[in-house]
Each structure stands twice: as C-alpha cells, then as structure tokens.
Amino acid sequence: MSFDQYSMIIGGQRTFIWSGEMHAYRLPSPTLWRDVLQKMKASGLNAVSFYFDWGYHSPAPGVYDFTGVRDMDRLLTIADQVGLYVIARPGPYINAETDGGGFPAWLSTIAGKARTDAPDYLAATDQWQSAIDAIIARHQVTNGTGSVILYQIENELAATGTSQRNYLQHLYDKAHADGISVPVFHNDKGRNGIWVPSSSQVAGTVPGPVDLYAFDGYPGGTCHTDGSPGAPSAAPDWGIQGAGGAKGGATASPNTPGFVAEFGGGWFDYWGSVGTYPCTAQRQGSGYERVFYGTNIANRLTVQNFYMTFGGTSWGWLPAPVVYSSYDYGAAIDEARQLRPKAAALKSLGYFVQSVTPLTKVDKGPDVVPSSAAVKIEHTVNPDTGTNFYFAVHNPSSATTDDSFTFPITTADGSYTVPLELTGQDAKTLVADYDLEGQHLVYSTSEIETHLPGVALLHGRDGESGETLFRYASKPAVQVLSGSATSSYDPATGDLKLSYVHHGLIRVRVNGLTLLIADEDTAGSFWRVDSEAGPVLVRGPELVRTAHAAGPLLALTGDTTAPADLEVWGPRQALLVTWNGSLVPARPTTSRSLTALRQLPGPAPVRLPDLSGATWKYAPESPESQPGFADTTWRTADLTATNSTTKPPAGQVVLTADDYGFHHGDVWYRGHFDGAAPPSVTFDFGGGGAGLIQAWLDGTYLGQYVLPTNLASPPTRGTASFPVPAGLPDGDHVLSVMVRNDSHNEDGGVNDAQKEGRGLIGVTGLSTPVTWKIQGGDSSADPVRGPLNNGGLYGERAGWYLPGFDDRGWTTHPVPDTDAPAGTSWYRTTFDLRVPKGVDASLGLTIGTVPAESESSTQPRGHYRVLIFVNGWNMGQYIADVGPQHTFVLPTGVLDPHGPNTLALAVTSDGGPVNALERVQLANLATARGGVGT
Ligand code: GAL
C-alpha cells in the first residue's frame, strides 16, 4: 500500500476510494450487516467506513466483549467478502451522536481529563486499543488477510496543546505496537489544517503523528424547522480548485491524497423536531450529490467517505442527548434498509470514479470559459493519458436555474465547442480523450456511468440532448438497435458523431461496442457486479447483490419488490443465468446481452398480526415510590468526592449515578429523613436529551419534569421544583425520585463534557439530614444485549423485558389504554410472524398516530414515554409529547420473522387518562423477495 498526492495505491493500482459510513453498533443483527454492505457495494461504493464504539463493548474497566452483535471480527470478514475496503475508525473518541461520544460510561468517573495525556486516561485507551486493534490488525490489506486500508486515530481533536500531541502520539505508537500497518490518519473538524503529516510544511498547519491528512465537512444546506428544504448552498472547493493553504481542505497536505473522512450524506435529527429525515434525504438528495460530490471529484479528493450511507438505529441507550432513537440520517439507505432515490446518483458517481481510472491521477487543467456566466467549468487532466475531465456546474453552484450553454474542449484530438444543459440543482462530469473499451472517445456530453468489455453505459437527464464523438481511421459500422440516435462520420477528422435526446434506453452498436445511453431513471435500473470471470452489468431488478461465474453458468442474487425484467451483459462464456438459485430461461439479444423470457417474480404479500386484537398483559411498577418498599439492599449514597464536572452542593453527599456504577437509563433514589414535610422540594438533576424526573413523597406523587426539547443542542441538566401537598404528618419521610438518563454528553469540546452528572446532583428544600439510597441498572447484567440495553427500572431488574418472563400472573389491559398511573407500568404481548420464506420484510412498530402533514406537530399529546423491548432488545424510546418518532425499525434477527415474538413496553406516565398508552401496531416498511436469508 502506498499513496502520493493523487490517490491511494493498493496492490499497485491507483484506486479512487468511494466510501460510505455505517455503524455496525446501530444494526444489532449481524446477518443484516451483509445486507447493508451488499447494498452499499451495489450502490457504487468500494469502501465502508466504520466507527467502533468503545462503550458498546466495555461494560466495566478491563471488560471487553466482541461476541454476538458485538462481533467485529465477523463484521470485517463480511466486509471483505462483500468486496469493500474498510476505513477503520476506533476512536477512542468518536463523537458520532453516541452516548459519551463513544466513551464507555465508566470512563466518566476517572480523574484524568479525557483526550489528553493524563496517565489514567491513556491507561484506559490502551485497554481499548489492545482489544480492538487485535481484531482490526487481522483484517489488513497490508497483511493480505483482509480489506482494511486505513486506520483513524481520535476524531475531530480540535485542541492542539502539547498534551493532545502527546496523546495522539501515544495512540499512533500503540496502534503500531498492536500491529496496525495501514496508513494512519486523523479527521480534522472542518478544514483547520490540524494534525497534518510532517511532509506538509504548509504555513499555519499543525503537524501530528499521522501518515495522511483528512478533514470533514457538512456543507449541503439544511431543512427548516417545519421540515421543508432550505435553499441549497454552494459547493466548496476543498482541493486543487480552491484557495489553497492550511485551511483549504486537502491543500493543507500537498503530498497526500485529497481525503475527506466525512462528507455530508445527510444529517441527524433531535428530540422535538418535526422529523426532518425525509426532507434531509431530499436536501442532500441526487442534485446535492452531483453538485457536491462532483465538486469534490473535480478537486481531486480521491478518498471520499459519505457520512452516513446507512445510519441505522441508536437502539437502547446509545443515542447522545442530541438525537433520538432513529439515526436514519436521510442517508442513501434508509433506517429500514431500503435504497432511497438518492442512492442512484451515488451509484452513478461511484461506478464512474471506479470505471474511468484516469481520474485517480489528475492535475488542474487550463481554465475553461463557458459561453454563459451562469455556469462554470472545473477542468482536470490526467498527465499520463491526456484524459480531460470537465466538471460543469452552475455559477454559483447553489443556483438552480435552467441553462443551455457551450464550452470549449481542447485535447490531443483537437478543439471542439460543446453544447450542454444544466437544469435545476445539477452538475455533470464529462470525459474527453479516453480509451472507452478499445474505442477512442473524443468526448461525450453524456456522462459515463461504467463500462466493461463490449459494453458501455452512458447517461443524461431525460429530455436533454447529447452527443458522443469517437474517432476512427475509417468509417466504422454503426447500428442503432433501439431508441433514436443519428450518426455522422467525418472522414477528414475521423470523427464519428452520435446525436440523440436522452430518453429511456438508446442502444447503439459502434464498431463492436454496445453503447447504452440511458436517462437517469433507466440508468438507475442498472447494476454492476463483479464475478470470477470479470464484471457483469445487469438491468432490471430492484437490487443485484452478487454474481458468480462458473463455466457457462452465471449465478446472480438480488432482490425484487415487484415482477422485474432481467437483462445481463456478462462474461462471453456465460450462457445460462440463475437468479437466487433458479434457472432463468433467457435468449441472446442484438445488444449482446441475455434477456429473461419471463419477468422475475416479486415477493408474496406479507400479512402482519393486528396488535389491537392481541391480549396485553399488564402490571403496574414503580414500587420504589411507595413508603414501605424495602431498599435495604440498595447502595447508600455516601461518597463525598466525585470526578464528575457537576459537584454536589456544599454539605451534600455525591448523588450522581455514574459514581455508584449506574450508567444508563433510569436510576432511583430514596431519601429518608425525619421531621416536618417540606413545603416544596427542588432537584438539580442531569438527564441528557429530553431527560425526565419523577418524584413522590411518602408515596404521594409530586409530579414530573422533562428537560426542554425542540432544540438541536438541548439542555442536559436542569432544575425541577415540586410543591408538596399540605397536611403530611411529621415523622419519618421517604422521598422517592426516578431520573431518566437520556445519555452522557459527547466531548466534542475537549472539556470532559461526558462527565456531567447524571441522576440527582443536588437537592434543596429539605432542612433535616437525609440518608440517600440509590439503585440503577447494571451494565453487565445482560451480556447478550450488552451494556447499553438496560437501565434501572424495577421491571428491567426483575427481567420483565425478557421474552421468557412468566407474566401469567399479570392482569390484562386494553391497548390503547384508557388510563395510566403515575410512574411506570408494563404491557406485554406476544405475536407470531409468518413472513414467507425468501422474503425480506423490514418491519417496525408504530405507537400513536403519525401526525398528518396538515396537523400541527405542537398539538398536545400525552405526557408519557415508552421503552420498547422486542424479544428483550431495547429498540428505542417513544416520547409522546416530545416526538417526533412514532415508528421504530425492528431488524430481522431481533425479530423472528418465522415464529413467536415478545413485545414488552415500559410506559412511564405523568398519570391520568390523557397520558395513557396509545395504539400500538406492527408496520411493514418494505418487502422484497430475496434478501440475505435469515
Ligand atoms: C462530525 C463527527 C461525527 C458526527 C458528525 C455529525 O463532525 O466527526 O462523529 O458527529 O459530525 O453526524
């Protein structure tokens, strides 16, 4: 493995890295890792970037778990099998909208400052690196034993003091000591020129212990708070077309490849938003991808990673305070594992950068001036092949006008004036002077999607005209096979010119090459897959996953969502095609393809049980609220010192939950005191995003308080005051308090923000001494589902969330229910799924009614929330009066599609009829015939 200023060189081949981010920890179903990775590969990516979340693997100091859903060795094996390179990003700090930014919760209790060279902190990161590096090292390209090509240390470490430099050096040295031999990089938050390799020498940069420089950026424009798309922004030039220098992006490191470690593929959403993911998918949709990713290509960013390509689910207590359970992200692959329309543009660009290899070595070309000031051309040239690339985009690139213009092309073939159109948010990369499968391409105003021996696929927008010129010494044979195109040959120049309007699929046979010219929708129906006998181009199905060639047999796998055509351009010897194991009768075509005689079948319908007709078992909970509850086995809160950044008020004991080993979800306190009941009591508490506190005195409910939401950066700590009803007698009192901890802060600011206290911090209003008892969740209690599955609800500690729990003694209640006690109560039901074999049904659970678009999102909703346990897995939190999420994706693996399933809902309510559990339904989010099998 090596690299230069142009690109990564892997196994001697210059390689354009077109990578997508996905987080295995956001998909607790290893079988489906293959599904998502195959969809990424099919969508034109040749690499995947993984964050590894330290906290996901480590319930306690020195304890690391890489089994089951945490089996990262299996993940890396699958990525290699699928044919994706891996960018490994183990942190130790990752940010990523995960609890504590990826730090294990126990780390919040150490004295040393995180992300520095504090010895206790480094001792902790050593543990993690030893564990995760051992796995990553086994899968490196450099060892010939896997597909890991790059390794990131830290993430967005924006502080640059000596302590950080020492820390980074420590991580770098440790990685090497652990056998990491692929290039090491860091991800600079924005373009600050921070942590560049010593080869850089650019004024204003900060050198660091790295082999490559990488940065990130999310420049695409946003959605308004009402969920409508904002105006597009202009695409920045973060490479050779830009201003240059330390803050110019890739120009901060002139001797290493242009590397954007994260480029916006969407954005996350917050508690109380209207639900922006569908809008984000549009705002950062196809037009955005063409303009922004295209600009990156023109800037010679030959390592690009799109964050996220599949966002997935922040299940359990994974979501950081800034995000709710869904991490859909508006990404190319939605949370329910379906390709969004924008995946097609990602695919076109991805196939292009991998097919047209001269792109991996380009310099800035001479300026090109188009006929209209409303557009601009960014020009690059490969110095070895002479291939020219013209990136045409609006000027400014945020403009969305419809423009027709010409621009000059001058190559070794001569000079031409080329007509082009740009309609709306769009951009095109045109290629000139290029060997297209043995034909000399002078230029084309269609974009090249891909080519393989005997066939080339070009594309353009429906209704826009195009022209493609080849050069031949003598007049070639040209045959228009379908659609409409004209050709003319100029013997003086040798130029053969094809003229056409993009619409449907035009097929032209030119000198033995099948030229397929598609409009965008049609281009989206093509898939390029690799087989043992070479690349294969397939048209028709919803998805093509794999191709295996053996003699005359070509075995394809993939998905259909409806009956679908199948046409295949494969290796010459391929005469027989199978689809998901069944022989497909097919005939050869004049396009030199094989086409199926009958359509491939679509999926059989999936019928789901109606949960409103189910029997729901019911039990009230929160016994801790009652005065007679025995808390003798609970830990006494007696600590007087804490490493939390939130200290107790003078004279009070430490109450913050992490200090007592209770890290996630709910934590209970019982404060015993003697004397008169106070008129009111006030709690300073930490609850993360949309955190909750509920309090009782002597069993009398005092009320609940929810931290403010509807904010992208919500407060994570607050004060709640509750008046105490008059008339309570003097004597022994017990104050029962439950705090829901919606996770630890991230530490993006390098200020130990993850150490902000959770649970109670201080209590005012009590005049007599209080003895506090504390009880919460044990991070090691459920080794199957891991440290982030459970908090400290009574029902969780008693196993009520588990499928095997015996609820026969419970009563029954209707769902939707008509009333709710204050505190928590549980609803359990079972249902059988009978998803037909061979069908991949992506299912979800919907609580309440999804607001109609006309309905105000601020309408009053019940003051209650639900933890959703599916077969014991905590798949998310519904907060009725905060939102916006109603539908929770339940991956196969967590769900058994062919058998019984158990649903347990922990409903925490403010009490009363309006705060009772709403309707609960199963939802079919997508059905495909195919899938990866379960
Ligand atoms: C980046 C960061 C990621 C993630 C992203 C936003 O700045 O590196 O970890 O937080 O922002 O989703």
Render pLDDT for 249-268 as a digit per residue (tens, 0 to 9): 999 999 999 999 999 999 99
Decide: 455 and 508 in contact? Cβ < 8 Å: no
* Nearest Cα residue to atom 7 of ligand 1: 189
Residue 858 reports pLDDT greater than 90: no
Instruction: Write out the H or E segment, with its range, that includes residue 693.
Output: strand 692-697
* Nearest Cα residue to atom 1 of ligand 1: 96
The alpha carbon of 218 and the centre of ligand 1 are apart by a number of angstroms equal to 9
SS3 content of the chain, % helix, strand, coil (to 5): 15, 35, 45
Residue 855 reports pLDDT greater than 70: no
Closest among 768, 760, 782, 802 to 906, alpha carbons compared:
802
Percentage above 90 pLDDT, the chain = 97
Name the pairing type of β-strands 259-264 and 303-310.
parallel
* Residue 859: pLDDT band with limits 50, 70, 90: low
- Please report the atom of ligand 1 found closest to the CA of residue 268: 12
Which residues, including other chains, have CB under 8 Å from residue 435's CB and lie 6 or more apart? Answer: 385, 441
pLDDT value of position 767: 85
* Nearest Cα residue to atom 10 of ligand 1: 96
* Residue 849: pLDDT band with limits 50, 70, 90: confident
The alpha carbon of 132 and the centre of ligand 1 are apart by a number of angstroms equal to 21
Cα within 13 Å of Cα(846), Cβ side:
14
Q: Which amino acid is at 545?
A: R
- Please state the rounded mean pLDDT for residues 855-880: 87
The alpha carbon of 644 and the centre of ligand 1 are apart by a number of angstroms equal to 25
- Please report the atom of ligand 1 found closest to the CA of residue 95: 9
Query: Hey, CA dihedral for 841, 844, 849, 852, is it positive or negative?
Result: negative
Q: How many residues does the chain have?
A: 934
Closest among 719, 702, 703, 927 to 833, alpha carbons compared:
927
- Please report the atom of ligand 1 found closest to the CA of residue 94: 9
Q: Hey, which of 99, 156, 284 would you mutate to test ligand 1's pocket, going by the most ligand atoms within 8 Å of its Cβ?
A: 156
Please write the tens of the pLDDT for every residue from 72-127: 999 999 999 999 999 999 999 999 999 999 999 999 999 999 999 999 999 999 99
Q: Distance (Å, rounded) from C-alpha 323 to C-alpha 314?
A: 9
- Please state the rounded mean pLDDT for residues 123-141: 98
pLDDT value of position 852: 58
The alpha carbon of 49 and the centre of ligand 1 are apart by a number of angstroms equal to 13
pLDDT value of position 403: 98
Q: Where are the alpha helices (DSSP H) in 72-208?
A: 72-82, 119-137, 162-177
Q: Hey, which of 52, 87, 216 would you mutate to test ligand 1's pocket, going by the most ligand atoms within 8 Å of its Cβ?
A: 216
* Nearest Cα residue to atom 3 of ligand 1: 96
- Please state the rounded mean pLDDT for residues 49-63: 98
- Please state the rounded mean pLDDT for residues 659-676: 97
pLDDT value of position 860: 56
The alpha carbon of 701 and the centre of ligand 1 are apart by a number of angstroms equal to 41
* Residue 199: pLDDT band with limits 50, 70, 90: very high
- Please state the rounded mean pLDDT for residues 285-299: 98
Cα within 13 Å of Cα(117), Cβ side:
12
Which residues, including other chains, have CB under 8 Å from residue 854's CB and lie 6 or more apart? Answer: none
Please, what is the average pLDDT of the chain? 97
Residue 231 reports pLDDT greater than 80: yes
- Please report the atom of ligand 1 found closest to the CA of residue 308: 12
The alpha carbon of 304 and the centre of ligand 1 are apart by a number of angstroms equal to 15
pLDDT value of position 851: 67
Please, what's the b/e burial string for 508-521 (b: 16 or more CB within 10 A of its CB; e: otherwise)? bbbeebbbbbbbbe
DSSP string computed for 135-165: HHHTTBGGGTSS-EEEEE-SS-----SHHHH
The tokens for 702 are 């005092």
Q: Hey, which of 97, 259, 310 would you mutate to test ligand 1's pocket, going by the most ligand atoms within 8 Å of its Cβ?
A: 97
* Residue 623: pLDDT band with limits 50, 70, 90: very high
pTM of the model: 0.98
The alpha carbon of 216 and the centre of ligand 1 are apart by a number of angstroms equal to 8
* Residue 861: pLDDT band with limits 50, 70, 90: confident
* Nearest Cα residue to atom 5 of ligand 1: 96
* Nearest Cα residue to atom 12 of ligand 1: 96
Residue 852 dihedral angles phi and psi, to the nearest 5°: -65, 155
The tokens for 894 are 């967590």
Q: Distance (Å, rounded) from C-alpha 308 to C-alpha 327?
A: 9
Closest among 900, 877, 889 to 925, alpha carbons compared:
889
Q: Distance (Å, rounded) from C-alpha 856 to C-alpha 760?
A: 35
Residue 572 reports pLDDT greater than 90: no
The alpha carbon of 96 and the centre of ligand 1 are apart by a number of angstroms equal to 5
pLDDT value of position 934: 61
Residue 853 reports pLDDT greater than 90: no
The alpha carbon of 101 and the centre of ligand 1 are apart by a number of angstroms equal to 10
Q: Distance (Å, rounded) from C-alpha 893 to C-alpha 887?
A: 18
The alpha carbon of 187 and the centre of ligand 1 are apart by a number of angstroms equal to 10
Residue with tokens 């050593």: 126
Q: Distance (Å, rounded) from C-alpha 333 to C-alpha 311?
A: 8
- Please state the rounded mean pLDDT for residues 703-728: 96
- Please report the atom of ligand 1 found closest to the CA of residue 96: 9
799: left (phi > 0), else alpha (psi -120 to 50), else beta? left
* Nearest Cα residue to atom 4 of ligand 1: 96
pLDDT value of position 850: 72
- Please report the atom of ligand 1 found closest to the CA of residue 329: 12
Give the binding-site residues of ligand 1, using a 6 Å CB cut-off: 94-97, 155-156, 187, 189, 216, 262, 268
The alpha carbon of 748 and the centre of ligand 1 are apart by a number of angstroms equal to 9
pLDDT value of position 598: 97
- Please state the rounded mean pLDDT for residues 444-458: 98
